[in-house]
Amino acid sequence: NAGVTQTPKFQVLKTGQSMTLQCAQDMNHEYMSWYRQDPGMGLRLIHYSVGAGITDQGEVPNGYNVSRSTTEDFPLRLLSAAPSQTSVYFCASSYVDRDQYKFFGPGTRLTVL
Amino acid sequence: AQSVTQLGSHVSVSEGALVLLRCNYSSSVPPYLFWYVQYPNQGLQLLLKYTTGATLVKGINGFEAEFKKSETSFHLTKPSAHMSDAAEYFCAVSEGTGNQFYFGTGTSLTVIP
């Protein structure tokens, strides 16, 4: 199993540009989520999905869109990048049961100039 | 409502000394609790978890944590610190439908030779 994979590892954008961060998992997990990590703030949930065709907002959803057309993939879209979106982004997946821990991807480091 | 508080954003210990990283939570339901470790420029890796049963749980790399309901705490300990333990540690609580995780702000552990 490859686990949770994320691409790209690094990205630099200019303000106003759009891009998609890719996330895929091969463990047949129902639950997938995106977090952003900022210094002193821990990990904050952006969006999550409990299955194909189902998505919902987390703590900090503004400026981001997601979709879940397959069990395996959960892309995160930035429609118009802003400097405040400079962060490290992590994708995580798990089964939906509460006792199931999350598997994390290696992260994408995004800089918005 | 749920939240996780990690006291001490930075902890320094000497090699061979006891490691104690503090985590307190609030939860409206019986909590499921997790500790993750993040090495530099990597994703998060599960150290240990508490769901039900024994309140003292053992994890990887010699770490353990004790769930204390009366104190709403889940502190992480290791009897003897090793240089390789230097990393960022995150406490998390799982709550709600769909296995949502809420993270603390993290504690950076430095091990002094």
- For A14-47, the pLDDT digits (tens) are 999 999 999 999 999 999 999 999 988 889 999 9
A35, A42, A56: residue with CB nearest B106:
A42
What are the chain A neighbours of B95 within 8 Å (beta carbons)? 98
Chain A residues touching residue B42 (CB < 8 angstroms): 106-107
Residues of A near B (Cβ–Cβ under 8 Å) read: 4, 31, 33, 35, 40-45, 48, 50, 56, 58, 90, 92, 94-102, 104-107
Contact between chains at A45 and B94 (C-beta distance less than 8 A): no
Residue A99 Cα distances to A6, B9, B32, B73, angstroms: 24, 27, 6, 18
Q: Between chains, do B45 and A101 touch, taking CB under 8 Å as contact?
A: no
User: Which residue from A31, A58, A105 is facing B99, i.e. has the nearest CB?
Assistant: A31
Per-residue pLDDT reduced to its tens digit, A57-78: 998 999 999 999 999 999 999 9
Q: Comparing B51 with A78, which gets the higher pLDDT?
A: A78
- Mean per-residue pLDDT of chain A: 94
- Residue B65 above 90 pLDDT? yes
The whole-number average pLDDT for the span B67-93 is: 95
Distance from CA of B34 to the nearest CA of A (A): 8
- Contacting residues for A102 by C-beta, under 8 A, at least 6 apart: A33, A92, A93, A94, B34, B44, B46, B99, B101
Contacts of A56 in chain B (CB under 8 A): 98
- Are B36 and B92 in contact by the 8 Å Cβ rule? The answer is yes
> On the CB side of B93, how many CA atoms lie within 13 Å of its CA?
24
Cβ atoms of residues A6 and A93 within 8 Å: no
Kindly indicate the confidence band of residue A98, based on its pLDDT and cuts at 50, 70 and 90: low
Task: Return the exposure string of A1-14: e unless at least 16 CB atoms fall within 10 Å of the residue's CB, then b.
Answer: eeebebeeeebebe
* Bridge partners, B95 (sequence order): B100
Closest-CA residue to A108 (of A26, A13, A17): A13
What pLDDT shows up at residue A37?
Answer: 94
Question: Minimum mean pLDDT among A13-27, A66-80, B31-45, B95-109: which range?
Answer: B95-109
